[in-house]
Every structure is written in C-alpha cells, then in structure tokens.
C-alpha cells in the first residue's frame, strides 16, 4: 500500500516475516521431530528441540498396528463421498442455474443448502443415528460415505452453482441451435468447461471428508473401520504420552492434504478476483 | 394439457435435481423435523420409553446450569476467536500487502495450519500444552516462571483452546483479506498519498471502510464455524476441567450419546439451531441476494 516500494528493503518487514513463519511452522516441525524421536526422548522433562537420536521406529510401529487399513478407510470414504456428491450436485446445480422451478423453489433450495452448511452437524446427529441404526448402516463404511453427504453435498452444490452461473451461456445456446439435445449439451459442452470448477470443488470436498470427526466417532465402533481422525483421537485419549506414534500418524495424515496447499492458495486468490468482476 | 407438455419439456431439469432433493430431504429435512418433534418427548434410547412431555425438556434445559455454561462458553469461544482471527488477519494482510520476494511460497506455507486436520492440530497442541513435559511449560520453567495449567486450570482451558483455533484459522482470514486488499485499485492509495494522507489515515479512513463488507463476511464465516466447536474440545479437554470447556455441541453429544436422553438432546439441538439461525440470518440474506437466482 502506502509503503509498498520500500517494503523489501525494510529489515523490520523481514523480521516480522520470520516471526510469523516461526509461529506457523513450529508446531508442524514439532509433529515431524516428535515422530522421529525415541520413546524415551519424548518423555524427557525438558523436551529437546533437536532430537539427539533419529528413529523410524514410530512409523514402523504405526504401520504394524494395522494403520494402513485406517488410511485406506479414510481414502475410500473421502473419495467416494466426494464422487457421489460431485455427480449429484453437478446435475442439481446445473438445473438450479439454468431453469426456474415453479414458485420460489430455487431460492428456497439454496437457502436450505446454506442453513445446512451453517448448522453444527451434531444437531442432526440424533435423528441420523436412529435412522442409520434402523437401516443397519451403523459401523459400516457405506454409512459413513452416506452421512458425509450432509457436509459434502451442500458444499458441492453451492460451489458448482457459483461456477455454473459465471459460465457464458453462448456455447450452450450454440449447441442447442445446432440441434444438440439437452443432455448432450450438458455432457459435451458444459461438463468440459467446468473442469476447473469440478477439480476445485472436489479438492475442498475431499479435505472436508478427510478431516471429519463427529459422525465417524458416532457411527464407527470397530477399530479396523476407523478413519484417521478417529485413530488420532483414540491415541490422544488412550495413551497419555505415546507421542512418537501419535505424531507419526499425524504426519502421515497431514502430508497428502498439505500437498494441496499450493492449489488452495491459488483458489482463494483467484476465487476472489472472479467475484469482484 | 398445455401444462403437461410444458412439464415434459422441462422434465430434464426435474430429473437432474431429483437425486439432490431426495438426499437432502432424507439426510437434513427429515432429521430437522424429527428433532422438532422429539424435543417435545421424553425419550430414553436404552429403556426405549417414549412419551409426550410437552415443554418439560425446554424447562429442564433452559434452567440447567450446564446448558447455560455450554452456551456461554460457545459464545465466548466464538466471539473471542473470531475477533482475534479477523483482527490479526487484517493486520497481517496490511503488513504483507503488495509484492515482495518469495510471496507465493510464503503464502503457501502460511496456510499450512488451516490445511491440517483438526485432530492433528489438537494432537500437537496437546503435547505442547502438557503440564509436566510439554514444551511451553518447560520454556516457562527455564525462564524461572511458574508453569501454567494450560488445559487443566479451569480459568485457562477455554483460552488455551481459543489459542489453538487462532493458530489454525488466522491463516484463513489472512489470505481472504489479503486477496480482497489486492483487488482495491492502487490509484485510490496513490491519490490519497498525493493529497498528503499518512499511512494510518489511509488504513483507517480508506482501506478498512472499503473492505468493511468483506471483513464482515469473513467474520461471519468464522463465527459460524467456531460455533460448531466440537473436535478440539473432545481431543483436548473432554469439556473439562469441570464444565470449563463444555460447548453446545459437546452438551448435545453428552445428553444424546452418553446419557441417551434423546428428548433432551433434541431440545438442545433445536435451541442451538434457533441460536445459529438468528446469528447467521444476516449472512444468509446477503449471500442469497448476491448468489441467488433472483440476484
């Protein structure tokens, strides 16, 4: 702003930047080093900032405890709930953005989507639990995939609705004039143009499902069916100081998602630029 | 007849939206209605006794100290976290406005905390906060200061959880505000500078008023999200010590899934729903006006 030009030459600016990076990165660094420390070093009364001895024992121990199964659960749940949401919400968002349903259905539907996004999920927990229990969907991966639609579906509809509204209509109109059917237009004209929007939406949806904790806690009982956040919560509650293993799990849980951060940053900056058009 | 053919012409759109409507009705509309009905019933899941109770649940919940504590804690958490996150985010956005060497990489790293799972974040802070062998208390001891009961002192526990949320989510307010700041035309600042305005004047008289809409929107998003607080409490304090960190979400969870008082849990859910809707009414209105089909 006012002092843009002299920013890079101002040492205070770089000191501030170092402090911010330190605060942000230290806990991430702490996850990494704790995961590489020996069990004895973890419980020293004065924690060591730099580990004296590096070990991969924690990772090996974690992998041997059936952790890969849990990782698989997390992958299956977040990817399949996202795919289901993406397909259903793409269709719904297209209908909402291109057609006026009678009365004020469009507005009502969108308001309801927002209300669901805003609600603390625990508000729906009791009826959903009773319902899923009656349908024998408790303690099953399928149940989790279905219940995660409570998060991912409203989210995907809202995002894709925004993307579809910003799409120029002329290509669809041209296709219709050339005699393409509505479904052909949707499949061959709109879908390819929506690639960026679909990728962005699916990444955020995967992150949401990957992180979800509450319904996992309520719906899953068998340890082998747990997702990663549940395994972490279990470790925190069960073992006071088995931190090496805990942080190894944390590291493996965090890594795949951290790879998205470049993309997420680009999306937020670009998303805003689009909105200000 | 004509109506019928119009329907057939548009049946494509009806077919497209049907799966979404069915799923939303099944997973959200029906449960909300069920909560509404259930809140007037005395229903214990274990004994499976269900009988109409009128307003008894409401009386019990509203006069329950635990519910009041949970509500107040949620409110404090939500307000404090939102205010600090938005304030810090704005300050950072101003400090790191414009171009500088390595900005893209810096910003990519800055958003790490919000990318991490809440459970991973809670786990690492739990180790940092540990009373005897946590890093924070060990630093305090080395500085000859008294150790702090971060998570076990009732007067500290809630603020310790607030700190975790600030660490995790200030990056979000930062990048959002930094993006909106970037979209203000530079000429405005240049003109103000030529007119002799000093930096603080520019910030308080020009930048903040221009960004006010965005600031409120981001504050609203954070308020809504912090109102859902559950995972961090579950992992860090389990609502304790005492009731110091009980929230509306943990209250409902406890009533429903530890005591199996489904009626009372439904009543608490309903009250939470009303509170959250009232808080976010402004937000919904604004977004529907902007994004909605009539906008």
- Asked if residues A42 and A110 have their Cβ atoms less than 8 Å apart, the reply is no
Cα torsion B63, B66, B72, B75: sign: negative
State whether residue B258 is helix, strand or coil: coil
Domain with CATH 1.10.3720.10 in chain B: 56-291
State mean pLDDT over A126-142: 93
Enumerate the β-bridge partners of residue B51.
Answer: B42
Say yes or no to pLDDT of B45 above 90: no
Residues of A whose CB is below 8 A from B203: 1
Distance of CA A194 to the CA centre of its chain: 20
DSSP characters over B123-146: HHHHHHH-TTT-HHHHHHHHTTPP
In this predicted structure, the answer to whether residue B289 has a pLDDT above a threshold of 70 is yes
Domain range B56-291, CATH architecture: Orthogonal Bundle (1.10)
Domain assignments of chain A as residue spans, ordered by start: 66-235+256-275
What is the three-class DSSP state of B215? helix
Burial of B129 (0-12, 13-18, 19+ CB in 10 A): buried
Phi, psi of B284 (to 5 degrees): -60, -45
pLDDT at B295 over 60: no
End-to-end Cα, chain B, rounded Å: 33
Whether chain A has a CB inside 8 Å of the CB on B20: the answer is: yes
* Cα angle A78, A135, B257; round to 5: 75
Stretch B157-171: mean pLDDT? 95
CB-based contact B247:B221 (threshold 8 Å): no
Q: Do B17 and A23 touch (CB under 8 A)?
A: no
Q: Are B256 and A126 in contact (CB under 8 A)?
A: yes
Provide the phi-psi class of B288: left if phi over 0, else alpha when psi is between -120 and 50, else beta.
Answer: alpha
Q: Is the pLDDT reported for residue B294 higher than 60?
A: no
- Are the CB atoms for B120 and A210 separated by under 8 Å? no
List the structure tokens of B1.
């007849």
Place of tokens 């949707």: A186
CA atoms of A49 and A94, how far apart (whole Å): 53
Note whether A24 contacts B: Cβ–Cβ < 8 A: yes
Residue B10: list chain A partners with CB under 8 A.
99
**Cβ A252 vs Cβ A71: under 8 Å:** yes
Compute the radius of gyration of chain B from its Cα atoms. 24
* Closest by Cβ to B256, choosing from A13, A95, A126: A126
What is the DSSP secondary structure assignment for residue A165, as one 8-state letter?
H
Q: Which residue in chain A is spatially nearest to B34 when comparing CA positions?
A: A127
- Nearest 5°: CA angle at B175, between B170 and B176? 100
ipTM computed for the complex: 0.86
pLDDT digits (tens, 9 = 90+) for A39-85: 878 877 778 888 888 888 889 888 888 888 999 999 999 999 999 99
What is the per-residue pLDDT across A75-89, written as a single tens digit (0 to 9) for each?
A: 999 999 999 999 999
| A254 interfaces chain B, CB cutoff of 8 Å | yes
A118 touches A128 (CB < 8 A)? no
**Cα separations in angstroms, B274 against A101, B216, B279:** 28, 21, 9
The whole-model pTM stands at 0.89
Instruction: Pick the residue from chain B with its C-alpha nearest to A27.
Output: B124
| Percent of all residues in chain B with a pLDDT value above 90, rounded to a whole number | 44
- For A223-249, write each residue's pLDDT tens digit: 999 999 999 998 888 776 688 888 998
Q: Please check the confidence at residue B282 and state whether its pLDDT lies above 50.
A: yes
Residue of B nearest to A262 (CA): B108
CB of B212 within 8 Å of a chain A CB? The answer is no
Using 50, 70 and 90 to split pLDDT, how confident is the model at A6?
low
Please give the CATH topology (third level) of the domain spanning A66-235+256-275.
Answer: MetI-like fold (1.10.3720)
Contacts of B221 (CB under 8 A, 6+ apart): B283
Residues found in chain A: 277
């Amino acid at each position: 702003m006012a002092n843009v030009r002299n920013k890079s030459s101002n040492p205070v600016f770089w000191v501030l930047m170092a402090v911010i990076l330190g605060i942000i990165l230290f806990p991430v660094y702490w996850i990494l080093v704790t995961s590489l420390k020996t069990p004895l070093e973890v419980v020293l009364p004065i924690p060591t900032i730099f580990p004296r001895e590096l070990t991969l024992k924690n990772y090996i121990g974690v992998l041997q405890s059936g952790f890969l199964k849990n990782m698989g659960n997390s992958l299956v749940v977040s990817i399949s709930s996202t795919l289901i949401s993406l397909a259903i919400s793409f269709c719904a968002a297209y209908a909402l953005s291109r057609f006026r349903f009678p009365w004020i259905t469009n507005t009502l539907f969108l308001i309801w989507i927002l209300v669901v996004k805003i609600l603390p999920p625990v508000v729906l927990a009791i009826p959903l639990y009773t319902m899923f229990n009656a349908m024998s969907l408790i303690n099953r991966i399928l149940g989790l995939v279905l219940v995660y639609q409570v998060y991912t579906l409203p989210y995907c509809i809202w995002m894709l609705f925004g993307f579809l509204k910003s799409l120029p209509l002329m290509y669809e109109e041209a296709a219709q004039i050339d005699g393409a059917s509505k479904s052909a237009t949707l499949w061959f004209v709109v879908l390819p143009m929506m690639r960026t929007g679909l990728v962005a939406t699916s990444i955020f949806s995967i992150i949401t499902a990957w992180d979800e904790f509450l319904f996992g806690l309520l719906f899953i009982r068998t340890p082998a069916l747990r997702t990663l956040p549940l395994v972490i919560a279990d470790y925190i509650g069960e073992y006071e100081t088995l931190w090496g293993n805990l942080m190894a799990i944390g590291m493996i849980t965090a890594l795949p998602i951290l790879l998205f951060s470049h993309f997420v940053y680009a999306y937020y900056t670009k998303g805003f630029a689009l909105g200000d058009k | 007849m004509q109506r019928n053919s119009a329907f057939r012409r548009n049946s494509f759109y009806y077919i497209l939206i049907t799966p979404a409507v069915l799923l939303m009705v099944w997973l959200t509309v029906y449960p909300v209605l069920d909560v509404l009905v259930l809140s007037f019933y005395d229903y214990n899941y274990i004994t499976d006794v269900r009988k109409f109770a009128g307003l008894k649940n409401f009386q019990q919940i509203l006069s329950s100290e635990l519910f009041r504590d949970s509500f107040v804690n949620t409110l404090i958490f939500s307000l404090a976290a939102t205010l600090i996150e938005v304030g810090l985010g704005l300050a950072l956005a101003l400090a790191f406005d414009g171009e500088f060497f390595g900005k893209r990489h810096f910003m990519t790293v800055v958003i790490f905390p919000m990318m991490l799972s809440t459970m991973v974040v809670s786990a690492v802070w739990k180790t940092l906060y540990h009373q005897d062998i946590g890093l924070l208390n060990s630093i305090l001891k080395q500085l000859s200061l008294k150790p702090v009961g971060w998570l076990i002192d009732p007067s500290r526990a809630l603020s310790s959880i607030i700190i975790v949320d600030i660490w995790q989510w200030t990056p979000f307010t930062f990048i959002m505000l930094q993006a909106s700041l970037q979209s203000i035309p530079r000429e405005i600042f240049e003109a103000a500078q030529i007119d002799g305005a000093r930096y603080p004047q520019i910030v308080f008289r020009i930048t903040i008023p221009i960004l006010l809409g965005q600031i409120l929107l981001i504050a609203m998003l954070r308020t809504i999200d912090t109102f859902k607080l559950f995972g961090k409490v579950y992992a860090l304090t389990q609502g304790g010590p005492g009731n110091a960190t009980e929230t509306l979400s943990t209250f409902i969870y406890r009533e429903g899934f530890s005591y199996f008082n489904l009626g009372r849990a439904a009543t608490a859910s309903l009250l939470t729903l009303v509170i959250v809707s009232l808080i976010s009414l402004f937000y919904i209105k604004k977004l529907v006006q902007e994004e909605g089909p009539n906008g």
